[in-house]
A and B are shown apart, each in its own frame.
Chain A
């Protein structure tokens, strides 16, 4: 199975700041990487697909990038509603696998 190593496990940032979350794939996944946001008690919401494509309706302060097998989610100008958990997921090979998640706290 493809392992997705996500970091950091948690981070705390202030309103207006920029944060970055990383996922390292154990092998090449050819940009087949999605990012999700999850709020408590809710299902994951797709933010980014194919590494850098913004899902319809998602604010442009969210962006995705890649460098080799390392994938990044950047959130600019943090807003209160950005607090939550973030996951990466590879869809290149079955079984699909997920990162362990990052808990983002807005100070």
Chain B
């Protein structure tokens, strides 16, 4: 069965970066894009962007350009999202998803000094 397993929670300091992973299993990894979504209590769900797992091509929501960087390692069927120059506003649960039906379990990123 299709599964997306995300890396664990992160506690990061303002100004630093974090890299979240999303390991896919149960299907041909390079046949589907992986999307990333941010969820906060205040802003709800926001679409960050997606990566074409075959070509490595990316799309970023304008709001997240310069904040998020999406990459992929085909050899391990894993997608990554790096968040840079972290601020407290980046504190959120981040999901990877193979739209529409398959979502990872979420990764909590907390930005605090």
- B-contacting residues of A (Cβ < 8 Å)? 34, 42-46, 49, 55, 87, 89, 91, 94-101
Bound together, the chains give a CA A30 to CA B95 distance in angstroms of 26
A43 / chain B contacts, CB cutoff of 8 Å: 95, 103-106
Bound together, the chains give a CA A47 to CA B101 distance in angstroms of 9
Interface on chain A toward B: helix, strand, loop, or mixed SS? loop
A-B contact pairs, 29 of them (CB 8 A): A34-B100, A42-B105, A43-B95, A43-B103, A44-B45, A44-B95, A45-B103, A46-B100, A46-B101, A49-B100, A49-B101, A55-B101, A89-B45, A91-B100, A94-B47, A94-B59, A94-B61, A95-B47, A95-B61, A95-B62, A96-B35, A96-B99, A97-B47, A98-B45, A98-B46, A98-B47, A99-B44, A100-B44, A101-B44
Q: Write the nearest CB–CB distance from A51 to chain B, whole angstroms.
A: 12
Please give the number of chain B residues whose Cβ is less than 8 angstroms from any Cβ of chain A in the complex: 18
Bound together, the chains give a CA A46 to CA B103 distance in angstroms of 9
B62 / chain A contacts, CB cutoff of 8 Å: 95
